[in-house]
Amino acid sequence: MSEVLARGRELRSRNRTRLTRPRTYVWIAGVVLLLALPFYLDRFWLQAGLFAMAAAIGAIGLNLLTGATGQLSMGHAFFLAIGAYGYCVFAGDGEGGLTGLGLPTWIAAALAVGVAGIAGGLFSPIAGRLQGAYLGIATLALIFIGQHVLFNAHDLTGGSNGRDVPPLSVFGITFDDSELVVAAVPFGASEKLWYAGLVLLFGCGLFARGVLRGRPGRAMNAIRDHRIAAGVIGVPVARYRAGVFVLSSMYAGLAGVLLALVFQRTVPDYFGITLSLEYLAMIVIGGLGSVAGAVAGAAVVSLLPQLLTRYSDALPLVSAPGTGGITPGEASRYLYGAAVVAVVLFLPGGLASIAARRSRPKSGHTPGEEQ
């Protein structure tokens, strides 16, 4: 415990010297690059990037819950689904016999995130009673319930074929395919959403970092490392656990809204157990308990299959589907499985620990505690 507190002080003192560090300039270069991309990349890459951003937001949420507080959740996909479908229900115009409240889309997005949070809150009495593996498998129930509802509540979800997602519209800009020409580059849905995604991801990342670095973060780590001891020194364990569950569900809800906007259609098959497992893989690959780790893991897990499929012709051992040999789909499964295993065994802090190790070569920290 005391080590954790001490590190908090240390972090604050390091902040003051930030301007003189090259890292600040790397950051600025990165931001400029990200802002410039829509002018050059085509829709496929922008869409892939948007999937990664949405995944990153969801992964940050899961990392707060599983990485920082130690509550294993396999039900993340359920909360993503609530965000995605919630947005459709609030923003939809009720066409085609589907329930739609026709609210302004930005209110709908906010409400969808709120509903995801409420769903998390409703589940937290169960979550609060369960530990470790029990909680992990109890959250699996959410996936099954979610799938059942998505397929059967036809009025709300559109059943197996899903429902259309109304385009987001904020400050007079509609994030759809109607073309807006900026500096001679036509801006479609992906280009516009790219900036929305960046803003959301940045905001979510900062907020989560604030939570993790502040008092709540230390309390969460204390709960993860030793729940009873945390209680003894006065951390309100139950309240924190419920709160983190709600917060993580809201992150998932927001990721769901963004995903829905990118997909332009929500389909129930997406929100299955595989998706939940992918999110767990993201935070493990990236690094448990850190925002940067969640983002890095999300980028790896969601971009790797796309890269492999796109460049399958150029890769050794991998052959185009239908010609025999290992298909790109299989190759990416192998790599993804191997990455999870390899990271845990050889890089216990995940990808985030590489960066951390470089900037702080001597600090003997435990995995999952950097930023």
Q: Which of 129, 215, 239, 360 binds other proteins (CB under 8 A)?
A: 129
Nearer to other proteins, 315 or 341 (CB): 341
Q: Does 40 bind other proteins (CB under 8 A)?
A: yes
Separation CA 79–CA 326 (nearest Å): 34
Separation CA 105–CA 102 (nearest Å): 8
Separation CA 160–CA 243 (nearest Å): 33
Using alpha carbons only, give the angle 145, 142, 90 rounded to the nearest 5 degrees.
75
Q: Does 136 bind other proteins (CB under 8 A)?
A: yes
Stretch that binds other proteins, among 198-206, 210-218, 227-235, 290-298 (CB under 8 A): 227-235
Binding to other proteins in span 189-208, by CB under 8 A = none
Residue 148 CB contacts under 8 Å (≥ 6 apart), including other chains: none
Nearer to other proteins, 251 or 263 (CB): 263
Q: Does 44 bind other proteins (CB under 8 A)?
A: yes
Separation CA 211–CA 63 (nearest Å): 12
CB of 251 to other proteins, least distance (A): 19
Q: Does 288 bind other proteins (CB under 8 A)?
A: yes
- Judged by CB under 8 A, how many residues of this single chain contact other proteins? 96
Stretch that binds other proteins, among 3-11, 155-163, 200-208, 351-359 (CB under 8 A): 155-163
Separation CA 165–CA 176 (nearest Å): 10
Q: Which of 78, 79, 194, 263 binds other proteins (CB under 8 A)?
A: 263
Binding to other proteins in span 15-34, by CB under 8 A = 15, 18-19, 24, 28, 31-32
Nearer to other proteins, 74 or 111 (CB): 74
Q: Does 121 bind other proteins (CB under 8 A)?
A: no
Q: Does 363 bind other proteins (CB under 8 A)?
A: no
Q: Which of 91, 111, 270, 295 binds other proteins (CB under 8 A)?
A: 270
Residue 41 per-residue DSSP state = S
Residue 351 per-residue DSSP state = T
Which residue reads 């917060």 in tokens? 247
Half-sphere exposure of 45 (CA within 13 A, CB side): 7
Q: Does 245 bind other proteins (CB under 8 A)?
A: no
Separation CA 20–CA 166 (nearest Å): 46
Q: Does 239 bind other proteins (CB under 8 A)?
A: no
Stretch that binds other proteins, among 129-137, 202-210, 240-248, 250-258 (CB under 8 A): 129-137
Structure-derived torsion over alpha carbons of residues 211, 213, 218, 221, reported in degrees to the nearest 10: 80
What residues form DSSP beta bridges with 186?
181
Binding to other proteins in span 312-331, by CB under 8 A = 320-323, 326-330
Which stretches of the chain are assigned E, i.e. beta strand? Answer: 163-164, 169-170, 173-174, 180-182, 185-187, 265-266
Stretch that binds other proteins, among 44-52, 83-91, 107-115, 356-364 (CB under 8 A): 44-52
Q: Does 134 bind other proteins (CB under 8 A)?
A: yes
CB of 207 to other proteins, least distance (A): 16
Separation CA 19–CA 367 (nearest Å): 27
Contact pattern for other proteins over residues 69 through 108, marking x by CB under 8 A: -x-x------------------------------------
Nearer to other proteins, 2 or 33 (CB): 33
Nearer to other proteins, 105 or 327 (CB): 327
Residue 166 per-residue DSSP state = P
Tokens of 246: 């709600």
Q: Which of 339, 351, 355, 356 binds other proteins (CB under 8 A)?
A: 339
Which stretches of 211-325 are assigned E, i.e. beta strand? Answer: 265-266
- Contact predicate 317/326, CB 8 Å: yes
Q: Which of 9, 22, 184, 364 binds other proteins (CB under 8 A)?
A: 184
Q: Is the dihedral of CA 283, 287, 289, 293 positive or negative?
A: negative
